[in-house]
Each structure stands twice: as structure tokens, then as C-alpha cells.
Amino acid sequence: MLLQVDPAPAKFSVERVSKTFRRGRVETHALDDMSLSVRQGEFVCLVGPSGCGKSTLLDIMAGLCRPDSGHVLCDGHEAGEAGPDRLVMFQEAALFPWLDVTGNVMFGLKLRPDLTRAQRREIAGHYIGLVGLERFARAHVHELSGGMKQRVALARALAPDPDVLLMDEPLSALDAMTREQLYVDFQRIHAESGKTIILVTHNVREAVCLGDRVVLMSPRPGRIREEFAIPLARPRDVNSPELARYATDITVALKDYMGEDVAE
């Protein structure tokens, strides 16, 4: 289903963003004139082939990388450098092995200097419960499975209460059964937290399962080629026939765009 224009104001947006990387005489044109608006509480998934600039765009959104041109806005204001308003969940959990689960989640709350240690512990406990790890609050990293580590990373990212949560293929390294369970968990947590989430993935079914909207990017230089609304009821089953139909349509469109760029 092609997306219709929504007049609601954007919570987060990139406007005409372009980025070129230069190493010696070699230039890599990663992004070209990218514009994207995301509404409050929306879950948007960016999909495209490897090397299309998805992660570069996410880094620019997070303030970890500056665009050559264009703007990143949050609530209509220039977002600026990285800060607690936009937090990133990466492919690797990147937890601190010398801290237990509670300590890892509390570490993210150091971004909130207004909180006492007792308040940070209370907030950490809430988000540990939200991701279903109450029984493992005192466990250390080596005692956790891959899926549990990613739940801790999600709790750590949510705890400082960012305006926007950015996810860079956080499930790509996990086995299929763990991913499917986390699809269920991510949908529940999104519904309960109401967060604005932007997820980068190369997995079309994952995007359809999680996203309110799926945005397709072209091969390098990355451009937005098409957007699909996903009006399926939640919670969604990644293996359902209805979801598969949307995934098939998006995959066909993505392959068509890749073919066009090769022909050019």
C-alpha cells in the first residue's frame, strides 16, 4: 500500500541531506538529497541494499556525523550534535562486562545529572522490567544470551527517555528464533513506551513486521525511492500470510529499483 501524505507535524525530520566521504582522491557519494519526516510515536523502517547509506543516514540523524548539506530537525528545531534526545541502539549490544544488568542500564542514566542514584536505580528497574529481565537484574554480561543482551541494550537506550530512538540493525546477528521473539517484544515495548523509533534493516520481513511505514532506499548514492504504509493490526506475526504479501510487494519494488540503477 503506497503511503498517502499525512498533514500531522513531524516529530523528527531530515531535510535535503547529502553526504560524500573523501579519502585521498577517492570520493564516495553516500547520500543524495535525502528528506524524511517521522511523526510522534511512529515506527519507521529504512530498507535498502548493502552500501546504500542507511547507516550513514542514521549516524547523521544521531548527530554522530555531519551532513555536507541539509538539516536534521527535532520538533522543528535544529537537532545539532549527539545528545540524550536521540539515542542509538547498535548491531552489537556493547555492554560493559564489569557491570551487571542494572549497572549497564543505570550507566545510560548518567546523561540525566538531575537524578539521584536512588532515582536512577528505580528508573533502571522499570525499564529492566519493561524488557522482561527482572529475574536477571543482578546478572553479568557473560551470563546472558545474545537476545538478552540486546534487551539490556534496549532498556539502556530507553531509560534516559530520548525523544527519538535510532536502531541500526540490532537483530541482525541473532538466530532466527531469537529474532522472532524480539519482534514480539519490540512491538510490545513500542506500544507501551510510545517512542518515536527509526530502524535500519536489510530484512524486508522484519521491516514489515515492526514498522508503521517502510521506506525504500536506492543503491548508492542513497535516495528515498518509495514509501509503504503497513496498516496491519498488531501484534504482527512475521510468518503470517498477510505480512508476507506486503513483504513480497516491497521486495519486488526494491529489486526493480536496483535493476534500474544497474541499467543506468
Report pLDDT for 81. 80
Place of cell 550507566: 107
Predicted TM-score (pTM) of this structure: 0.89
Cα separation, 153 vs 82, whole angstroms = 18
Report pLDDT for 263. 40
10 Å CB burial of residue 121 (0-12, 13-18, 19+) is: middle
Q: Please give the backbone phi and psi of residue 71, each rounded to the nearest 5 degrees, phi first.
A: -140, 150
Q: Are residues 120 and 67 in the same domain?
A: no
Q: Which of 107, 141, 161 is at the close of a domain?
A: 161
* Rg over CA atoms, the chain: 19
Q: Are residues 157 and 168 in the same domain?
A: no
Q: Is the dihedral of CA 81, 85, 90, 93 positive or negative?
A: positive
| Residue 90 is assigned to a structural domain of this protein | no
Residue 139, helix vs strand vs coil: coil
**Cell for 127?**
525499564
Report pLDDT for 260. 57
Q: Which of 111, 132, 161 is at the close of a domain?
A: 161
**Cell for 105?**
542500564
Q: Are residues 131 and 81 in the same domain?
A: no
Q: Which of 161, 185, 213 is at the close of a domain?
A: 161
Q: Are residues 148 and 169 in the same domain?
A: no
| Residue 4 is assigned to a structural domain of this protein | no
* 218 and 34 Cβ atoms separated by less than 8 Å: no
Q: Are residues 197 and 220 in the same domain?
A: yes
Tens digit of pLDDT per residue, the chain (264 long)? 444 445 567 889 999 999 998 888 888 888 999 999 999 999 999 998 888 888 899 999 998 989 999 999 888 888 878 777 888 888 888 899 999 999 999 988 887 788 898 999 999 999 999 999 999 999 999 999 989 999 999 999 999 888 899 999 988 888 888 889 899 999 999 998 899 999 999 899 999 999 999 999 988 788 898 999 999 999 999 999 999 999 999 999 988 776 655 344
Measured N-to-C along each axis, helices 117-130 and 176-193 cross at an angle, to the nearest 10 degrees, of: 120
Measured N-to-C along each axis, helices 146-158 and 117-130 cross at an angle, to the nearest 10 degrees, of: 130
Q: Are residues 100 and 152 in the same domain?
A: yes
Range of the domain at 140: 95-161
Cβ-proximal residues to 67 (8 Å cutoff; 6+ apart), any chain? 17, 18, 19, 31, 60
| Residue 136 is assigned to a structural domain of this protein | yes
Q: Are residues 52 and 183 in the same domain?
A: yes
Find out whether the peptide bond into 67 is cis, omega within 30 degrees of 0: no
Cβ-proximal residues to 172 (8 Å cutoff; 6+ apart), any chain? 91, 201, 202, 203
pLDDT in tens, 182-199: 999 999 999 988 999 999
Total domain count for the chain? 2
127: left (phi over 0), alpha (psi -120 to 50) or beta: alpha
Q: Are residues 27 and 157 in the same domain?
A: no
Report pLDDT for 174. 86
10 Å CB burial of residue 104 (0-12, 13-18, 19+) is: buried
